[in-house]
């Protein structure tokens, strides 16, 4: 093709060839008529949508390796496409069009904008280096968890997030467009944009240098949100297991910071949360992280096997983080903010391991 095109029109038709492996069935067998294990992509598109089929072929696939494709996998990504549609629909229905520049006023705002900047840099790098699966995985994680599970729920409590939500949605649709062109184009029209998304400019990607020296306020907001998420998850897990509605959160060094987030904690856990500088009488430690300890009232029998399992998982997490931090290539290429984030995770994991061991 290269030789013939060069001879016929004097141009090189392409510079890069992206190789993929065979598309196999769920058990890893080659699809064939004799086995009857082939999947008709047209039938899957009609049943689950083209975007779901595209995602099932991209995410979890590395160049040169074989791909496993089966209906349950496609159905999973159909569920995600529905999630993206529902998030977008909620934002479009509950926010007003505004010309205001997105401005962070709370810890959640600072955390989300910072996380989204990190995402844009990472996705842009992955796509430029043909790591399409990695780009899709990070977009999936941000969309479902950081945006839908956390920020949108906090936005319902704090309010006044119209500019941020619409700005994030607009750029997020552009990042998702190479993977899910149909649903993103449809949502884009609902944003009232005149130009098609496929011809719209790629989002503005911040420089790594921009993230290497975060403002103190931003760094504190990221740490606050990390601790806040841990507190809420811990209380939810405890409630599910014991059904105890009274929980005391002790933050010895960060007392006032979590009182400021009290409404978020109480509404997202649907429980009564009090604050103190020492352990309440007749209370039991539920969990601890750094200087934060969560107590509950009442007689709770600690599950020794569960604690041991959690301790082993924490040890594994520490080894994984240490391996990453000891990788010279990672330290050379990763933004300083990412390295600091990993070092913070390592320190907290070690503190947690000490308390679990005790």
Please give the angle made by the CA atoms of 84, 88 and 92, to the nearest 5 degrees: 170
Residue 130 CA to residue 197 CA, distance in Å, equals 21
Task: List all residues 6 or more positions away from 97 whose beta carbon is below 8 Å from its beta carbon.
Answer: 166, 192
pLDDT band at 334 (very low <50, low <70, confident <90, very high): confident
Residue 327 CA to residue 319 CA, distance in Å, equals 12
The C-alpha torsion from 49 through 54 and 60 to 62, rounded to 10°, is 170
CATH top-level class of 84-212: mainly alpha
Per DSSP, the three-state class of 127 is helix
Q: Which two tokens stand for residue 179?
A: 């993977």
pLDDT digits (tens, 9 = 90+) for 116-144: 999 999 999 999 999 999 999 999 999 99
Residue 337 CA to residue 264 CA, distance in Å, equals 26
**Predicted local confidence at residue 248, as pLDDT:** 73
pLDDT digits (tens, 9 = 90+) for 75-87: 999 999 999 999 9
Q: Which two tokens stand for residue 40?
A: 């008709």
Q: Give backbone dihedrals phi and psi of 249, rounded to 5 degrees, phi first.
A: -105, 120
Residue 321 CA to residue 146 CA, distance in Å, equals 21
Tell me 199's DSSP state.
G
Question: pLDDT at residue 299 above 60?
Answer: no
pLDDT digits (tens, 9 = 90+) for 258-267: 788 889 999 9
Residue range 245-268: mean pLDDT, rounded = 78
Q: Give backbone dihedrals phi and psi of 15, rounded to 5 degrees, phi first.
A: -110, -20
As a whole-number percent, the residues of the chain with pLDDT over 90 amount to: 48
Please give the angle made by the CA atoms of 12, 17 and 20, to the nearest 5 degrees: 160
Residue 342 CA to residue 82 CA, distance in Å, equals 32
Among 21, 18, 85, 92, residue whose Cα is nearest residue 49: 85
221 or 289, which is more confident? 221
Question: pLDDT at residue 276 above 90?
Answer: no
> Average pLDDT over the chain, rounded to whole?
87
The overall pTM is greater than 0.75: yes
240 or 44, which is more confident? 44
Dmax (CA) for the chain in angstroms is 87
Sign of the C-alpha dihedral, residues 178, 182, 187, 192?
positive
The residues spanned by each domain of the chain are: 2-71, 84-212, 216-236+243-297, 302-358
pLDDT band at 303 (very low <50, low <70, confident <90, very high): low
């Amino acid at each position: 093709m290269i030789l013939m095109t060069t001879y016929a029109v004097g141009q090189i038709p392409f510079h890069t060839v992206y190789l993929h492996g065979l598309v196999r069935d769920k058990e890893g067998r080659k699809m064939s008529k004799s086995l009857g294990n082939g999947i008709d992509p047209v039938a899957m598109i009609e049943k689950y949508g083209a975007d779901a089929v595209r995602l099932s072929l991209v995410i979890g696939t590395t160049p040169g390796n074989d791909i496993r494709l089966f209906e349950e996998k496609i159905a999973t990504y159909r569920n995600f496409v529905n999630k993206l549609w529902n998030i977008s629909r909620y934002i479009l229905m509950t926010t007003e069009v505004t010309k205001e520049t997105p401005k962070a006023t709370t810890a959640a705002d600072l955390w989300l904008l910072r996380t989204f900047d990190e995402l844009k840099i990472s996705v842009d790098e992955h796509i430029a280096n043909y790591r399409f699966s990695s780009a899709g995985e990070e977009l999936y994680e941000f969309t479902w968890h950081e945006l839908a599970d956390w920020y949108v729920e906090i936005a319902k409590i704090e309010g006044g997030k119209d500019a941020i939500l619409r700005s994030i949605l607009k750029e997020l649709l552009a990042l998702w467009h190479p993977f899910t062109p149909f649903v993103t184009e449809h949502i884009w029209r609902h944003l009232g944009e005149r130009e098609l998304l496929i011809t719209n400019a790629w989002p503005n990607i911040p420089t790594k240098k921009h993230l290497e020296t975060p403002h103190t306020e931003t760094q504190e907001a990221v740490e606050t949100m990390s601790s806040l998420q841990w507190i809420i998850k811990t209380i939810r897990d405890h409630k599910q297991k014991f059904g105890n509605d009274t929980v005391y959160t002790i933050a010895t060094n960060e007392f006032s910071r979590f009182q400021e987030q009290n409404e978020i904690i109480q509404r997202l856990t649907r429980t009564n949360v009090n604050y103190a500088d020492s352990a309440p009488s007749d209370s039991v430690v539920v969990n601890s992280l750094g200087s934060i300890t969560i107590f509950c009232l009442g007689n709770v029998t600690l599950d020794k096997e569960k604690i041991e399992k959690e301790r082993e998982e924490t040890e594994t997490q520490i080894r994984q983080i240490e391996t990453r931090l000891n990788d010279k290539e990672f330290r050379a290429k990763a933004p300083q903010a990412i390295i600091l984030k990993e070092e913070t995770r390592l320190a907290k994991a070690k503190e947690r391991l000490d308390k679990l061991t005790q």
